[in-house]
Amino acid sequence: MTSDKKAEHSPLVSIGLPVFNGENFLAQALDAILAQTFTDFELIISDNASTDTTADICQAYAAKDSRIRYSRSDVNRGASWNFNNVFRLSRGKYFAWAAHDDLHHPSYFEKCVAVLERSPSVVLCFARTTFVDENNKELREYKYPIDVQNVSKRRLFLHFASSGHIVHEIFGVIRSDVLRKTPLIGGYVGSDLILLGRLALLGQFHQVSECLFQHREHTGRSTLSTGGVEGFTQWYDSSRSGKFVMPHWRRLFENAKSVLTHPMKISEKMACLLDLCRGVNWNREAFAEDLFRVMKAAIKGS
Residue 244 has pLDDT above 70, yes or no: no
Residue 47 has pLDDT above 90, yes or no: yes
Residue 233 has pLDDT above 90, yes or no: no
Beta carbons of 259 and 251 less than 8 angstroms apart: no
Beta carbons of 180 and 94 less than 8 angstroms apart: no
Each domain of the chain, given as residue ranges in start order, spans 13-222, 242-301
Percent of the chain residues topping a pLDDT of 90: 74
pLDDT at residue number 302: 56
Task: Tell me the C-alpha distance between 102 and 96, whole Å.
Answer: 13
Q: What is the band of 297 on the pLDDT scale with cuts at 50, 70, 90?
A: confident
Beta carbons of 89 and 63 less than 8 angstroms apart: no
Residue 164 has pLDDT above 80, yes or no: no
DSSP code at position 185: S
pLDDT at residue number 122: 98
Task: Tell me the C-alpha distance between 46 and 17, whole Å.
Answer: 6
221-243: average pLDDT: 60
Beta carbons of 170 and 124 less than 8 angstroms apart: no
Residue 119 has pLDDT above 80, yes or no: yes
Could you tell me the fold of the domain covering 13-222? Spore Coat Polysaccharide Biosynthesis Protein SpsA; Chain A (3.90.550)
Task: Tell me the C-alpha distance between 295 and 274, whole Å.
Answer: 28
Q: In this predicted model, which residue has the larger pLDDT, 2 or 280?
A: 280
Q: What is the band of 1 on the pLDDT scale with cuts at 50, 70, 90?
A: very low
Residue 262 has pLDDT above 90, yes or no: yes
DSSP code at position 240: G
Average of per-residue pLDDT values in the chain: 90
Q: What is the band of 120 on the pLDDT scale with cuts at 50, 70, 90?
A: very high
